[in-house]
Structure 1
Amino acid sequence: MSRVLLTGGTGFIAAHVLDVLLERGHSVVTTVRSAQKGQTILDNHPKLPNDMLDFVIVEDIAQPGAFDKAVVSKPPFEFVIHTASPFHFNVTDTQKDLLDPAIIGTTGILKSIKQHAPSVKRVVITSSFASIINPSKGNNPGYEYSEKDWNPITAEEAVENPLAGYRASKTFAEQASWDFVEKEKPNFTIATMCPPMVLGPIVHYLQSLDSLNTSNQRIAAIMTGKAKEEIPATGTFIWTDVRDLALAHVKAAELPEAASKRFFVTAGYFSNEEIADIVRDNYPELKDKVPAKGTKGGGYPEEGIYKYDNSKVKEVLGIQFRSLKESIVDTVKSLQAVGG
């Protein structure tokens, strides 16, 4: 058993990471922004003593020294999994709302670990396919993306709009973490996770449809009638299930051979049209809301789509990816449970 600090514990991905950590026997302290959120997590794991699951409050990850106290523990932490970073487009100031929390939050926690938590051996950081893709190339048919690729976005482009700001926040934060390790030579190694669209069931006690994570909003739209006339464009055509991504995070902490590696965590292709087909075929009670077969929109681009190489995730971390059908069926079930 190892002791793990998990940041952003009420987030969509982090909630699943927490479940995997506990299932695998680790003791966990998770950061939250308020005592109320921390208590919600504890209340939903009532059989676990505080030495197996506890929380610490970090109100603003972009503040200097925000994690200084959080990284100190008895017994000391061996691993840190850093998932806390904004992913939304409800932005008034791209620099303040997206770039600063992601970049300062990531470098800040690495500084705090180096200064105050010498026992930590591995830090796993949630990055994104946004730090790999080159958006200027469009769908880039024939090109194969892998961990070797970096989004070439510039600081000037980053503040042009919220989507550019999000992609830049992930790119710059991940680059800053690799730069930190190279320059500071801390006691720990890092591994970064670069997932594309993250789908899959929500952890019921944390979410309602009102606060649904951005990736799953497309499924909610299809099952609640909002896409009845036209299926929205898919946008990003590769995906992963949140449960597979959570396991990848934990294995990247546990396995020595994951040190100093980026992981492009994707199960493969999907389209919004395929999601509609799966919901329609598996939930006949929703047929009046789900777009009918042949409804326009949501398909693949005619010119083709980029390829992907996910071999490192399979070979190093041993991840076997769930099917799109399993992911969507389970997601709809979880959304129905919170009022979908």
Structure 2
Amino acid sequence: MQYWSKSTRQTRKIGFLLFDRFSNMALANLLEPLRATNTLLGRQAFEWQICTPDNGVVHSSSGLPVMATTRLGDLGRGDYLCAVSSYGHSSLATPATAKTLRALSDRFDTMVGVDTGAWLLAAAGLLDGHRATIHFDLQDAFGERFPMIDVERARWVRDGSRITCSGGMAAFELACDLIGADHGAALLLEITRLFMSDSATAPQAMARVRGDRRVDACLREMEANIEAPIPLPVLARQVGCRQRDLEQRFQKHFGATPQKVYRRLRLNAARRMLESGGLSIAEVALRAGYGDASAFSRAFRTEFGLTPRDVARGALITAEARRR
């Protein structure tokens, strides 16, 4: 995992403040990329806690109950506090809510308003003098109600220590951008692949990679040829550039050589196969382009800090637990 161009060992601490009738899509689209990052990196790059205004259960707009994992008063200091709400924002924008959000802004480096959570931040005076966005259906009313805010029609906006996000799908893009800021485009490539995202919905950091047609073409060739890896000179010819030029492009976007990126893609594929179960380690090695199972095991352990057997054993234990 050494080659992520913006890698950090820091654990980001995130609080989610959920209000009744919040958007479950927004919450899932924020949480799942963070969870996937932890899985892919093999460590807790992100930790989160869920809280509610009264420390009890809230229900999403679809009626899904969610219980607080910690009390508001027990939240420590953190990196991001995400206020997530959707319907009924006007009734939620009370003096008590404003007081809570202002107190939390003293404990968290960045305040994030998701969907109508932006309205609640604004009502607490936390967006005054900032650029911000909100769900597009509310933008006119938002601008009229809060003239001290520079309202933008954008999927999400970051202005200093304030972030606002327009809705559920934009929340996925925001989460990926936060991940990319810490861990670079190489990890984002795997995150967007995992969630079947493409260049049309990829975050800004991923779009910068997708904007390089030769790197994009090379990545597609790599992804399509996991079992039989293509030599770098051949890849360069296939995408229409010199090998040295391709190496420089990968160094720019990923902070690594094409060979290292290719190896990571193959080992990620191997890890998914091991986690799915049903294949021997030797079979997985072959499908990941390794003719020598020992060489595969060494590369896997170097990359993930685990042996293939460790991952396969964990998948087996999980499968047996589900059958009980």
TM-score by length of 1: 0.31
TM-score by length of 2: 0.32
Larger helix percent: 2
